[in-house]
Structure formats: structure tokens, C-alpha cells
């Protein structure tokens, strides 16, 4: 049985999935997950302002990759795919990061386009659903540096777009107070709306809205009032859109310290979730959807699925 490893390196997190390839040679599928890990490294810290990856951020990222190299080494991995997204797309010194990845994992990082990032996120999220959704499906993937909107049906994207707005980028750009002021929030919302106005994805067509990645999942955990972060409870939970709006308003009104005290909040997300939560709220406000569906599967799963055929070929 083959084993594949997928790494998703974004602006705020680096994620690892090691999974078995199941099924037959003619119809391989992604099987049992052996490792699933997330490290909050804030690789994109300051990139929006400086255009470079900071030395401290590189150090945090390489420390996480050293851990991942050990985890991968515990399994007979046939193929590794490392996809780097928003932060490294924008950084002038991305070659330093690429060299560090190659040294630790023995593979070259793929700095994927926003369009490919969107397609992988859609694939990973859709394959995770236990029942067929009403179509078309809008997948929202809010990252640290970018946000992908993908509208599709029949298991495939029809139109996708990557916007250069994310939780870290917007927080650094607009939300400087703790908690942010009304004027800062208004400026952030105006920035989001400008990007949505220019976005070619018609979100009003969506019959189902499916949200992935940490910002969305944390908002859903808050909406469910969970006593701790519980992936099983969050995955495929359905939350009414008005409830999402309530949670977003509440989170923005809290200080960073108060957010960190929330039992489901990762401490590395507490300071920047305001920007990401506002993106979610503004996208939902433009849809006709009555609810948001959460998915624990995301671009990481899409990357792993892209390796399935290669591992059996």
C-alpha cells in the first residue's frame, strides 16, 4: 500500500497530511489518515508591507518543517507534494524559503497560482461531503494572505478567483487597535467590498456555501458554543447565516486577550481572526444562502488527492 504526504504552506500556517492510498489500481482513493498536523508559523508576517519573508518567520517555518521531516520519515512515503501559497508568491526572497524546504524534505516547493490554489481547495472540500449538496456550490477558503472563492458543480470548479485579502494581510493593513475601532473596521470592510466588487465569481448563484480553513472553522466553533475545539463536531456543521454574523460581530468586539481565552481559539489565530471573520461575513452577505456548511477538509486534502494517481502509477 502506497503512502503520500501533502504539505500546504500558507501565510499563517503550515499543514501536513500523511495518508494511505486505498482502492484499486484502476480506481485509487485517498484512504486512512496517518498524520494530520498544523503549525502556526506566521510565515507571511509583514510581507504585505516589506515584500520579503522575515528572518524570524523563516526560522519558525523551518522549525515546523524539521518536525514534519521526522513525521514523514516514520512512514514509507512514496510521494511528497509541497504547495506554497500566498506569502511565498509575494515575497522577493522566496528562494531562501525554497532552499530550506529542499534541504529538509528533499522536494522543491511548488509556488502555486491563486487559480490552482482555489481548485485544490474546492476538490478537497467537495470530496469530504457525506451527502450530495445543492448545486452550484461556493467554496470559501480564507487564508492569512489570500481568499479563494470557487463556484462549481458536478464535483468540478466552474469559476474560481483568488483575492489578495486574508486574515493576516487585512489585520496588518487596517485593524491596529485592540479591539479594532469602528473606523478601522469600516476601512477593512471597504477593502473587502472593493475586492468582492472586482471578483468574477458570482456568489449570488450559490445554492450551497461551504467554508474551509481555520478562520471559518473557528467562527463555526464559536457559533456552536463548543467547550473546546472539536473537529468532529465542526465538520459539516450547518450554521444559519444570521448566527455567523452575530459571532463575527462578537469576535471583532473582543480584545486579543479575550479571544485567546475562548476555549476553541488557537492562540496563534486570536490576533488576526478579525480580518478573516469580516471577509466571511461580507461574502455571506452577498449570497442568497440561508446557512454556512463547514468542512474540515480543505486544500491540504486536495493536494493529497492530486498525488493518489501518481502514487499508484
Is the confidence at residue 243, as pLDDT, over 90? yes
Q: Where in the chain is the domain with CATH 3.30.420.150?
A: 130-295
Residue 310 has a pLDDT of 61
Alpha-carbon gap, residue 188 to 168, rounded angstroms: 12
Contact of 240 with 287, CB cutoff 8 Å: no
Neighbouring-strand partners of residue 149: 140, 161
**Other C-beta atoms lying within 10 Å of the C-beta of residue 86:** 31
Contact of 231 with 294, CB cutoff 8 Å: no
Arithmetic mean of pLDDT over the chain: 91
Rg (CA), the chain: 18
Return the higher-pLDDT residue of 12 and 74: 74
Q: Where in the chain is the domain with CATH 3.30.420.40?
A: 3-114+299-312
pLDDT tens digits, one per residue of 262-304: 999 998 899 999 999 999 999 999 999 999 999 998 889 999 9
Strands, E assignment, 213-302 = 238-240, 291-295
Is the confidence at residue 207, as pLDDT, over 50? yes
User: Of 3.30.160.160, 3.30.420.40, 3.40.140.80, 3.30.1360.120, which CATH number belongs to 3-114+299-312?
Assistant: 3.30.420.40
Rounded average pLDDT over 122-151: 90
Residue 72 has a pLDDT of 96
**Hey, what's the torsion of the CAs at 137, 140, 141, 142, to 10 degrees?**
180
Which of 127, 118, 253, 99 minimizes the C-alpha distance to 178?
253
Residue 210 has a pLDDT of 96
Per-residue confidence at 235, pLDDT binned at 50, 70, 90? Answer: very high
Is the confidence at residue 166, as pLDDT, over 70? yes
Residue 206 has a pLDDT of 96
Per-residue confidence at 309, pLDDT binned at 50, 70, 90? Answer: low
Architecture of domain 130-295: 2-Layer Sandwich (3.30)
Is the confidence at residue 201, as pLDDT, over 60? yes
Is the confidence at residue 232, as pLDDT, over 80? yes
Residue 101 parent element (H or E): helix 94-105
Provide φ and ψ at 181, rounded to 5°.
-80, 165
Question: In the chain, what percentage of residues exceed pLDDT 90?
Answer: 67
Is the confidence at residue 313, as pLDDT, over 60? no
Name the pairing type of β-strands 3-9 and 77-84: parallel
Return the higher-pLDDT residue of 115 and 137: 137
pTM: 0.84
Is the confidence at residue 312, as pLDDT, over 80? no
Amino acid at each position: 500500500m502506497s503512502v503520500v504526504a501533502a504539505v500546504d504552506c500558507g501565510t499563517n500556517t503550515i499543514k501536513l497530511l500523511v495518508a494511505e492510498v486505498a482502492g484499486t489500481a484502476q480506481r485509487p482513493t485517498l484512504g486512512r489518515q496517518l498524520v494530520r498536523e498544523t503549525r502556526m508559523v506566521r510565515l507571511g508576517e509583514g510581507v504585505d508591507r516589506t515584500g520579503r519573508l522575515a528572518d524570524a518567520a523563516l526560522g519558525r517555518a523551518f522549525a515546523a518543517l524539521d518536525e514534519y521531516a521526522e513525521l514523514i520519515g516514520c512512514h514509507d512515503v512514496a510521494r511528497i507534494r509541497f504547495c506554497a501559497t500566498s506569502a511565498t508568491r509575494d515575497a522577493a526572497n522566496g528562494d531562501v524559503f525554497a532552499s530550506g524546504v529542499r534541504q529538509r524534505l528533499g522536494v522543491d516547493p511548488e509556488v502555486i497560482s491563486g487559480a490552482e490554489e482555489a481548485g485544490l481547495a474546492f476538490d478537497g472540500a467537495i470530496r469530504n461531503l457525506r451527502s450530495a449538496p445543492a448545486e452550484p456550490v461556493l467554496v470559501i477558503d480564507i487564508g492569512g494572505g489570500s481568499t479563494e472563492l470557487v463556484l462549481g458543480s458536478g464535483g468540478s470548479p466552474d469559476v474560481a478567483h483568488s483575492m489578495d485579502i486574508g486574515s493576516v494581510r487585512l489585520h496588518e493593513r487596517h485593524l491596529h487597535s485592540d479591539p479594532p475601532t469602528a473606523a478601522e473596521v469600516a476601512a477593512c470592510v471597504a477593502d473587502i467590498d472593493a475586492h468582492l466588487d472586482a471578483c468574477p465569481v458570482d456568489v449570488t448563484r450559490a445554492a450551497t456555501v461551504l467554508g474551509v480553513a481555520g478562520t471559518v472553522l473557528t467562527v463555526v466553533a464559536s457559533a456552536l458554543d463548543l467547550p473546546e475545539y472539536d473537529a468532529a463536531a465542526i465538520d459539516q456543521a450547518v450554521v444559519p447565516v444570521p448566527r455567523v454574523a452575530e459571532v463575527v460581530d462578537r469576535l471583532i468586539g473582543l480584545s486579543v486577550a479575550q479571544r485567546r481565552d475562548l476555549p476553541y481559539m488557537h492562540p496563534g489565530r486570536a490576533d488576526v481572526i478579525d480580518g478573516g471573520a469580516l471577509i466571511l461575513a461580507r461574502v455571506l452577505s452577498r449570497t442568497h444562502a440561508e446557512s454556512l456548511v463547514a468542512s474540515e477538509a480543505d486544500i491540504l486534502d486536495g493536494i493529497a488527492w492530486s498525488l493518489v494517481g501518481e502514487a499508484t502509477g
